[in-house]
Amino acid sequence: MRDEMGGQGRRSALPLEPGARVAGFVIEGPLALGGMGFVFRARRDGRLFALKLLPMTPRNERELEALRRLHHPNVVGFRGWAQWPDEAPRFHVLALEFVEGRPLEVWAAEENPSALELVHRFLLPFTLTLARVHDAGVVHRDVKEANILMREGDGQPVLVDFGAAWLPDAPRMTPRLPPGTPEYRSPEALRLAREWTGEPLPMSPREDLWALGVTLYGLLTRELPFGDREGPLTQAILFREPDAPHLLNLRVPPVLSEVCLRLLAKQPEARFPDARALAHALTEAFSRADRSWREPLFPPSPPAVPEGGPDARPRRRRVPRSGALLLGLGVALLPGNPRPTSPGPHPPRQAMSRQEVAPGRMTGEVAPGAIPRTSTPPAPAAVAASGKDTEMMTSKKSRSVARAAVLAGVACVGPGCAGSPLRKHLPPEECPAGSEATLDRLGLAVGMGWPAYLKDTDPASREPFAVEEGPIAFQTGGQWVKLKNDSVITGRLLFGKDRVYARITRVHLETGEVLPICLDIVSDEGPVGLLMQKGSTPRRALVINTPWVRVVSRFKSP
């Protein structure tokens, strides 16, 4: 059997059945079998985990070390580890966050996002996540749709499975080709393997960016840029230039196609130097977006006619599962909740081999791990708009606000994108989890207020400014105790009967951290919200850019 590492090997099934105990965890069932370990759904003290069992080899110790270095909401959480069984340990037991979500490929097939949604909901937040991973000295080396889960709770991408990870001080484990998936390997990795002299191969974060380019190409075209391992894959990666995505799919914006092709440039120096440079390019690409960015990337599939005629009751169809599921740590496909079928054919993928899990029973204890993290749900989607209907953004001022929305990692997917009627009543809403801890850290308290203004706008201007419902970014004015001047705070705008309200739920620190917070917006005349000016419509409100923000313990109905 050929594994994902490109080598030959045989694996025997690990004998664990539901109810078996491993290191104090109760096994509920198998989740995945990958090239390097076994993943089970398990519980301990009422909490759900993804439990990964790795044979005790130097290579697998590298995954443990990589996870120890990473603490980020968009990286699968590391909760602790143990060795098992106690008497004669043969496995490392990694207790990981159980991520409820869909592999990226399944999410894209089912949601059929627009280019705008793809950038906001996946590409930009994931790129910034890679930047933090690389800052920690880790190269993932197996970035692909299978190892990215779109989390159900907040819609954020989560990077999983660090079994192939590289660390700068780790010893070399494999001859020639490093671990990874053949379709996603870079040309320089292949060239170095051909010329290998026995020395360790140099490794760079650019390996992950190349693989992200392959992933993006597949999302935009539903084709792999260089084919799969059944064809002349190596020669194609080394020498063939892929067709531009916007030529294969006319719904792809050319500027996004250019970003994708730059990720796949044959020479490393022609690509983006790092993940933050890619994030900047994505922001600039969005600033030139027009309404075509709002169209789904692929035509929707016509509704299926049920068997027995159009009046027959439609049958429930199973969610399409790709081989991507087999390496997704902590994947949970929600039972009894089938999703729509794919709007079109999936790109070809090499499925991993399944093996059955046989009965068995084992015990052990787990070492203390990282404290569980809470993630803040992102705001629903839309962007500040210019006053023209012919294009999504035209003026310099509105492009700046749009860039701020992109940097907040949000998508244009909510009712604000298409416009919605003015509400007479806004329901109350709880603050995001963890916001109280943020107040303690920043020295803030409920009731405090400070000036703020729309990001990248003139705070002194008293001219009406056009906004839409959806995500919004502000900058703070003045020093907020421990929060520096001009810090970015983000949330979403909501329209009331005659006022615009903002529920701000994130603060972006200069360190790159994004913390939950709970802030209301008030006008300088006192009441909550900003008064809609003459000329406002249900889709587009005109406001004066003179807000204050105030710390609250709960978002109340105005």
Its CATH class, for the domain covering 21-99, is: alpha beta
Q: Give me 315's structure tokens.
A: 């049958």
How far from chain centre, in Å, is Cα 209?
15
Q: Which CATH number fits domain 396-555: 1.25.40, 2.40.128, 1.10.10, 2.60.40?
A: 2.40.128
300: β partners:
none
Q: How far apart are CA 342 and CA 199, in angstroms?
A: 46
DSSP of 3-68: -TTSSB---PPP---TT-EETTEEEEEEEEE-SS-EEEEEEETTEEEEEEEEES-HHHHHHHHHHH
- CA distance linking residue 393 with residue 390, whole number of Å: 9
- Of 554, 315, 239, nearest to 227 (Cα)? 239
**Which residues, in sequence order, are CB contacts of 191 under 8 Å at separation 6+?**
238
Task: Name the more confident of 510 and 264.
Answer: 264
Bridging pattern class, strands 541-544 and 148-151: unpaired
Q: Where are the domains of the chain?
A: 21-99, 102-294, 396-555
First to last CA, the chain: 63
Share of the chain above pLDDT 70, in %: 69
| Of the candidate ranges 105-119, 477-491, 493-507, the one whose mean pLDDT is the lowest | 477-491
171's tokens: 């010893």
Residue type, 397: K
Q: Which of 149-158, 224-233, 373-382 has the lowest mean pLDDT?
A: 373-382
Instruction: Please tell me the predicted confidence (pLDDT) of residue 308.
Output: 52
pLDDT tens-place string over residues 135-148: 999 999 999 999 99
Q: Residue 105 — φ and ψ, nearest 5°?
A: -60, -40
CA dihedral in degrees (289, 294, 295, 297; nearest 10)? 70
Dihedral (CA of 403, 409, 412, 415) sign: negative
Which of 216-230, 304-318, 330-344 has the highest average model confidence (pLDDT)?
A: 216-230
Helix%, strand%, coil% for the chain, nearest 5: 25, 20, 55
Res 319 pLDDT > 50: no
Q: Sorting pLDDT into bands at 50, 70 and 90, what band is 27?
A: very high
What value does the mean pLDDT take over residues 45-55? 92
- As separate numbers, helices (DSSP H) first and strands (DSSP E) second, the chain gives 13, 20
Write down how long the chain is.
558
Mean per-residue pLDDT for 427-443? Answer: 89
Could you report the per-residue pLDDT of 523-553, keeping only the tens digit for each?
755 678 888 998 898 888 998 876 788 899 9
CATH number of 102-294: 1.10.510.10
Q: Is the CB of residue 36 less than 8 Å from the CB of residue 18?
A: no
CA distance 432 to 437: 11
User: According to the model, what pLDDT value does residue 182 have?
Assistant: 92
pLDDT in tens, 453-462: 887 777 666 7
| Least confident range of 125-139, 221-235, 310-324 | 310-324
Q: Write down the pLDDT at residue 341.
A: 38
Backbone angles phi, psi at 205, to 5 degrees: -55, -20
More confident residue, 421 or 280: 280
- What's the one-letter identity of residue 73? P
Q: What is the mean pLDDT of residues 350-375?
A: 33
pLDDT of the residue at 420: 38
Flag the least confident range among 233-247, 446-460, 495-509. 446-460
Average pLDDT in the 325-341 region? 36
Q: What is d(CA 475, CA 453) in angstroms, rounded to the nearest whole number? A: 6
- What value does the mean pLDDT take over residues 153-162? 92
Q: What is the pLDDT of residue 175?
A: 53
Confidence at residue 35, expressed as pLDDT on a 0 to 100 scale: 53
Mean per-residue pLDDT, 163-188? 78
Token look-up 């090997």 returns 9
Q: Which residue has the tokens 């994004």?
A: 514
* Of 549, 489, 483, nearest in space to 514 by CA: 489
What are the residues facing 210 on neighbouring strands? none
Cα dist from 202 to 205, 275, 340, 420, 537, whole Å: 11, 18, 44, 53, 58
Between these two residues, 368 and 268, which has the higher pLDDT value? 268
Largest CA distance in the chain: 77
Average pLDDT, the chain: 75
Class of residue 464 by CB neighbours under 10 A (exposed 0-12, middle 13-18, buried 19+):
middle
Percentage with pLDDT > 90 across the chain? 38
Q: How confident is the model at residue 444 (pLDDT cuts 50, 70, 90)?
A: confident
Report the alpha-carbon distance of residue 292 to residue 451 in Å, rounded: 36
pTM: 0.58
